[in-house]
Structure 1
Amino acid sequence: MTRSTQPRPVVVGIDGSEAARTAAAFAAGEARQRDTSLHLLHALSWPLAGIAARTEPDMDLRTMLRTGAETMLRGAAAEAADVLGAERVTWSVVEPDPVTALWEASDDAQLIVVGSRGVGGVAGLLVGSTTNGLVAHSSCPVVVLPDPTSAAVSPRSSVVVGLEGRPEDDVLLEFAYAEAAARGTDLVAVHAWQDVAPETAFQSMSPLVDWAGVLADEERVLAEALAGWRDKDPDVPVREAVLRERTARALVSVGLTAQLLVVGHRHRSPLTRLGSTTHGVLHRAGCPVAVVPIPTGGAR
């Protein structure tokens, strides 16, 4: 007998902020695109949490906060139901801090969506260093939406993916190709490189360096990373961009008008922090950024 399994849901961290409502709408679209359900998650991260750890919390206050959160979630769920249908939308209020709650949710989710700013809940924490904690250790890809005031672009097109010429590029390409196909748009593969002799300004400007040859080598790196992928999904148009620039800056620049910018993060240990490129992209990008976890050992 064949046992059917339900596809893993899209999970969105939500509080009462406008950024969280935007994140919920984006997540509903992602769930519809993936033909799966949506789960709205709110963590009771409230100002008296530190006091509650030392004294018995005021149960009336806790009840009031939970009631308010449930009311907010019902409203957000009703909006998402217009996109997905009520049977595909669930919500919950949890006690752990927002980052812990989302870590735990990522074990059973296919995608986590969070906003860039909030009023103190999940989205609000992402402005600071807590971004590292969430994205660095999530078991599934995390999409972080940009500050809506950072750039106004309409319409957006393309999925952009950053490639380094390493075996784990396949993990990013699998995700990016699927996103481009689902959105009916093209894929822009970006490979950035810097001067081969950056120790001094004189070396980097040396006429003895064959910069055309260096560029040709870097173009081959990108071509090799893409080898075979066009045959796997020939319906997705692919454009290649090789830039002599810092990686984060190159990705932010190319991704300014993109629907989605895809980067990777290597899981090395429980103490892993985000690399400088991923951190830089998350804090500067003007488009949604998907951070895809790369398991130890490279591609799956």
Structure 2
Amino acid sequence: MTSVAGAAVVVGVDGSSHSMVAVEMAAAEAALRHRPLRIVHVLVWPKLPVPRPPGVTETSPEASRDQAYGYLTEAAGFADKVATDVPVSTKLVTGRPAAVLADESRRADLLVVGERGMGGLLFGSVATELASHAACPVLIVHGEPRTTGPVVVGVDGSAQSTGVLDFALQEASLRGSPLVALHAWTGHDSTELDLDLAAKRECRSGDARERRVLAEALSGAGGRYPDVPIRRQVLRGGAGPLLGEWSHTAQLVVVGDRCHGGLTGLALGSVSQHLIFHAACPTVVVRARPPAY
């Protein structure tokens, strides 16, 4: 994986408890990567017409800005307790949350967001949009953050899988955890990696062929990351549900932003979208192409 020299881990906050969990994960990631942490709050003004709880009235621009600075101060103090050696900076920006954070991602090593929150900043739709358009990997904090269990990566046999796999290997190495490389197949799959396989019957039928696809994808992985134990899994079934099952014991699931095959027209692949909303642990979506924001 390549990244911008000196790039920070960036996390979006909105003052909700969900975004504070995102701050905790972002601070831990910054410490692992020896990167600074930048905490960003997006001030949406004029306010979007969203329903407010009974008794809650509209606030003035000055009050909203003061409140936003309060969110940033609280988040910075929390991050400092989680990772005392990580340099922390804060940033208040007015604009549309997804667009602001996508722009921040151009100068980031990793972008961290919660899967929902209050005030319109970290709703699932924003997380989905960022996973589709961010210029760096996006970590969506969903489910239960853990410090035990493997890093699990979905390997579909496409050219994109190389970058996804490298990111997952790096995460496993940083965390000191094993890696589970899962290749799911349905019987209708065809990928770049199986086009050049030998035309032997045992390599061209069912499970044997798919094991060869995964072996090709993992070629050289042990040499690049000799400290990471790799468990290979080839299972017949949908990748989303199978990775979702692993998310109940994994500390992180890593996937690409799109499925291979005929789904390139989607804003986000069905597997990654499924995990953003249903995974039982945090998910990282690694983009394959330059952002089109």
**TM-score class, shorter:** 0.7 to 0.9
Name the amino acid aligned to 1:38.
L
SS in 2 for 1:122: coil
SS in 1 for 2:285: strand
**Alignment deviations for residues 150-177 of structure 1 (CA, whole Å, 9 cap, x no partner):** xxx8663111100111222110111111
Normalised by the length of structure 2, the TM-score is 0.82
Structure 1 residue 86, shift from structure 2 partner: 7.7
SS in 1 for 2:38: strand
Aligned partners of 1:158 and 1:186 also within 8 Å: yes
Q: What is the aligned partner in structure 2 of residue 203 from structure 1?
A: none
Aligned partners of 1:42 and 1:121 also within 8 Å: no
Indicate yes or no: 2:169 matched with 1:177: yes
SS in 1 for 2:281: coil
Give the whole-Å Cα distance in 2 for the aligned partners of 1:155 and 1:80.
17
Give the whole-Å Cα distance in 2 for the aligned partners of 1:147 and 1:176.
19
- 5 Å-filtered alignment, 1:107-186, equals 107-123=106-122, 125-126=123-124, 129-148=125-144, 156-186=148-178
SS in 2 for 1:73: helix
Q: What is the aligned partner in structure 2 of residue 233 from structure 1?
A: 225
Normalised by the length of structure 1, the TM-score is 0.80
Give the whole-Å Cα distance in 2 for the aligned partners of 1:131 and 1:31.
20
Sequence identity (%):
38
Provide the aligned length of Structure 1 versus Structure 2.
Answer: 263
Q: What is the aligned partner in structure 1 of residue 27 from structure 2?
A: 28
Q: Which has the larger radius of gyration?
A: 1
Give the whole-Å Cα distance in 1 for the aligned partners of 2:110 and 2:147.
24
Structure 1 residue 272, shift from structure 2 partner: 5.8
Name the amino acid aligned to 2:277.
H
Q: What is the aligned partner in structure 2 of residue 285 from structure 1?
A: 279
For the structure 1 residues 259 and 147, does the alpha-carbon distance in structure 2 shift closer, same or farther, using more than 3 Å as the test?
closer
- Give the alignment's Cα RMSD to 1 decimal: 2.7
Q: What is the aligned partner in structure 1 of residue 211 from structure 2?
A: 219
Gaps of 5+ in 2: 51-58, 190-201, 260-264
Indicate yes or no: 2:93 matched with 1:94: yes
Aligned partners of 2:76 and 2:88 also within 8 Å: yes
- 5 Å-filtered alignment, 1:200-219, equals 213-219=205-211
Structure 1 residue 291, shift from structure 2 partner: 0.3
For the structure 1 residues 154 and 144, does the alpha-carbon distance in structure 2 shift closer, same or farther, using more than 3 Å as the test?
closer
Name the amino acid aligned to 1:163.
V
Give the whole-Å Cα distance in 2 for the aligned partners of 1:72 and 1:168.
37
Name the amino acid aligned to 1:231.
G
Aligned partners of 1:43 and 1:121 also within 8 Å: no
**Alignment deviations for residues 25-74 of structure 1 (CA, whole Å, 9 cap, x no partner):** 110000011111111111113673469xxxxxxxx811100101101211
Deviates more, 1:278-287 or 1:236-245: 278-287
For the structure 1 residues 218 and 86, does the alpha-carbon distance in structure 2 shift closer, same or farther, using more than 3 Å as the test?
closer
Aligned partners of 1:193 and 1:218 also within 8 Å: yes
Richer in helix (by share): 1
Give the whole-Å Cα distance in 2 for the aligned partners of 1:70 and 1:132.
26
SS in 1 for 2:142: coil
For the structure 1 residues 121 and 90, does the alpha-carbon distance in structure 2 shift closer, same or farther, using more than 3 Å as the test?
farther
**Alignment deviations for residues 159-208 of structure 1 (CA, whole Å, 9 cap, x no partner):** 110011122211011111110000000000000011349xxxxxxxxxxx
Structure 1 residue 99, shift from structure 2 partner: 0.6
Aligned partners of 1:266 and 1:295 also within 8 Å: no
Name the amino acid aligned to 2:137.
P
